[in-house]
Copies of this chain bind each other. A is one copy, B any other.
Amino acid sequence: MIKICYIGGGSKNWARVFMGDLALEKGLGGEIALYDIDIYAANRNAKIGEFINKDERTISHFTYKVYDNLDMALLGANFVIISILPGTFKEMRSDVHAPEKYGIYQAVGDTVGPGGVLRAMRTVPIYEQFAKKISQICPDAWVINYTNPMSICTKALYDVFPNIKAFGCCHEVFHAQEFLTLVLKEQLGISATRKDIYTDASGINHFTWITSAKYKDIDLLKLIPPFMERFFEEGYFERGERFQFKTDPFAYGNKVKMDLFKKYGALAAAGDRHLVEFLPSSWYLKDPQMVKDWCYLLTTVDLREKMQKEQIEESEKLASGEKKFQLKSSGEEGVLIIKALLGMGDLITNVNMPNHGQMSQMPKGSIVETNCVFSNDHISPVYSKPLPLAVKNLVYQNLTNIDLTYEGIKQRDLNKIFLAFINQPLLSTLTQEESKNLFKEMCYNTKEYLAPFYDLDKFFG
């Protein structure tokens, strides 16, 4: 019998995925404490939870309880899931689209680049509160973060409460593993799942790199060059139709990934839409035409807004019983990790943690993503072999920018944040004046969330 506190429990999609995964696992049970500033949405998910409990395929049953007070939600929690959206679509729109008039495009805009920095500025002060409350109310709970920017959120948790048992989960590496199974299929006709292959992935969230990959005695990285001869030109889409990316804004042709492999000899292990944001904008993001040439799309906030609307509509139907919830395993590993931490079998998977030495090339204490072993109430990072020097440079530059962003936010020092801002690879084409103007604009666009923490007028004068 465990208590799982879900912060952001009004989530339009992710919460029910998680609830479904839990229901399908054996040997669990207890309470899911749903907390959200949108309490209506949390109640909606609780209702969906009740339908899940009634589903005959459900193996583990939980009590779904909605809290309007975070302290109460945390009290007695064994696990804390955090998955929030800091701000509204208005702020997201500024993060993603404001830079466009300066010629700066972003495919996602939530990790690094101008959007990532601004999103971090809004999110960290919230996370500081989370960490403080956890340290006081449930210091022994395991904390699983899903919010972006992943590295900075995880950093904030550890910085405020160094003994926190936290880590950040992300599925991007899984996609790269699936890409490798497709390479295997295309080149040798062998069908395998990502669980069947071994990969050594390390780096930072959304910018991890696979330096070795094996299926049985087959070196998968060696299959990529001949695979590229066939598919590089038009891209290779792991799901759906070729050219699907022209209509599906989350699709991409892995052409960026292949191009990086050609140059660097290692496989960047995240979706192309994420990868491009860690590199100079002139490489893959110069303008919409270049984006198209590299076979991916820029995800607009309009689209995100439309999608959310649809998800809410679906949630309403599920909560009212108008539509039946389809129980199925999502392939996400959150629930497997929980089981491992409860002592129900070891698990090795990649998560985001402070660097204790698992990446020997990166500074101690910075947040890195590597394999970790999950055991009974225990997580241990697995040492990952050094990255090739050229890859290390790319990763290090972004990682240390993230550290600087965090330091600036922690100290509420806008100048320091600005130094991290102008050092973003995505902004390297701007003059200092342009960068300053853009930063100012983005700060004032989202000042509702920033003004309580940063003295904007003093800095921008």
A360 cross-chain contacts in B, Cβ below 8 A: 356-357
From A87-95, A122-130, A390-398, the one touching the partner chain is A390-398
On chain B, the residues within 8 Å of A312 by CB distance are none
CB pair B432–A283 under 8 Å, yes or no, is: yes
Could you mark each residue 211-254 of chain A with 1 if its beta carbon is under 8 Å from any beta carbon of chain B, else 0? 01011110000000000000000000000000000000000000
A400 and B396 contacting across the interface, CB-CB below 8 Å: yes
- A401: B residues at CB distance < 8 A: 393
Instruction: Say yes or no: is A378 at the interface (Cβ < 8 Å to chain B).
Output: yes
Assess the A383–B358 pair: CB atoms within 8 A: yes
* Chain B residues in 8 Å Cβ range of A198: 343, 346, 375-378
When A343-B216, A348-B346, A428-B280 are in contact, do A423 and B380 touch as well, CB less than 8 Å?
Answer: no
Q: For the complex, is A24 an interface residue (Cβ under 8 Å from B)? A: no
Give which listed residue, B356, B400, B429, contacts A428 with CB less than 8 A.
B429
Docked Cα-Cα span, A37 to B432, in Å, equals 46
Taking CB atoms, residues of chain B closer than 8 Å to A383 are 356-358, 380-383
Closest B residue, CB atoms, query A343: B216
Q: For the complex formed, measure the closest distance between the CB of A159 and the CB atoms of chain B, giving whole angstroms.
A: 14
A371 cross-chain contacts in B, Cβ below 8 A:
373, 380
Q: Does A445 have its Cβ within 8 Å of any Cβ on chain B?
A: no
Give A430 to B264 CA distance when docked, in angstroms: 19
- CB of A412 to closest CB in B, whole Å: 16
Chain B: minimal CB distance from A170 (Å): 20
CA distance in complex: A401, B389 (Å): 9
Taking a contact as CB atoms closer than 8 A, the residue among B282, B290, B432 that contacts A429 in the complex is B282
The answer to whether the Cβ of A307 comes within 8 Å of any Cβ in the partner chain is: no
Chain A residues bordering chain B, tally (CB within 8 A) = 62
What residues on B are CB-neighbors of A423 within 8 Å? 390, 393-394
Please give the count of copies of this chain that the complex contains: 4
In the complex, chain A residues 248-294 whose Cβ is within 8 Å of any chain B Cβ: 263-264, 280, 282-283, 286, 290
**Residues from chain B with Cβ under 8 Å of A404 in the complex:** 389-390, 393
Q: Does the CB pair B389–A380 fall under 8 Å?
A: no
CB distance from A367 to the nearest CB of B (A): 15
A214 touches which of B282, B376, B407, B430 (Cβ 8 Å): B376
With beta carbons under 8 angstroms apart, the residue of B214, B361, B376 that contacts A216 is B376
Structural contact, A429 and B431, CB atoms closer than 8 A: no
Contact A343 B217, CB 8 Å, known A198-B375, A375-B198, A389-B400: yes
Q: Tell me the bound Cα distance from A431 to B285 in angstroms.
A: 10
Tell yes or no: A208 within 8 A of B by CB: no
- Report B-chain residues with C-beta under 8 Å of the C-beta of A43: none
> Within 8 Å of chain B (Cβ to Cβ): is A133?
no
Residues of A within 8 A of B (CB): 197-198, 200, 212, 214-217, 263-264, 280, 282-283, 286, 290, 342-343, 346, 348, 356-358, 360-361, 363, 371, 373, 375-378, 380-385, 389-390, 392-394, 396-397, 400-401, 403-404, 407, 415-416, 418-420, 422-423, 425, 428-432
Pairs of residues from A and B, 9 with the lowest C-beta to C-beta distance, nearest first: A357-B357, A428-B428, A198-B376, A390-B419, A198-B375, A214-B376, A280-B428, A381-B383, A380-B382
> Can you sample 18 A-B contacts with CB below 8 Å?
A198-B346, A198-B376, A200-B378, A200-B380, A214-B343, A214-B376, A216-B342, A263-B418, A280-B428, A357-B358, A371-B373, A373-B382, A380-B383, A381-B383, A383-B383, A393-B400, A393-B423, A397-B397
13 extra A-B contacts, CB within 8 A, seeds A282-B430, A396-B400, A425-B428 = A198-B375, A212-B378, A214-B376, A215-B343, A217-B343, A263-B415, A348-B348, A357-B358, A357-B383, A381-B383, A392-B400, A393-B423, A394-B423
